[in-house]
Amino acid sequence: MYSKQIKVVNPTGLHARPASQLVSKANTYSSAIMLRRVDEESEYNVKSIVMLLALGLGQDEEAVLSAEGEDEVAAVNELAEYIESLTE
Angle formed at CA 34 by CA 31 and CA 40, multiple of 5 degrees: 155
Question: The CATH number of 2-85 is which of 3.40.50.300, 3.30.1340.10, 3.30.9.90, 3.40.50.740?
Answer: 3.30.1340.10
Cβ atoms 43, 57 nearer than 8 A = no
Contact between 12 and 59 under an 8 Å Cβ cutoff? The reply is: yes
What residue ranges do the domains of the chain occupy?
Answer: 2-85
pLDDT of residue 7: 96
Pick out the chain residues at pLDDT < 50: none
Question: How far, in Å, CA of 25 to CA of 76, rounded?
Answer: 11
Query: How far is Cα 12 from Cα 15, in angstroms, rounded to an integer?
Result: 7
> What is the value of pTM for the model shown?
0.94
**Cα 46 to Cα 33, 64, distances in angstroms:** 6, 11
- Residues labelled as active-site residues: 15
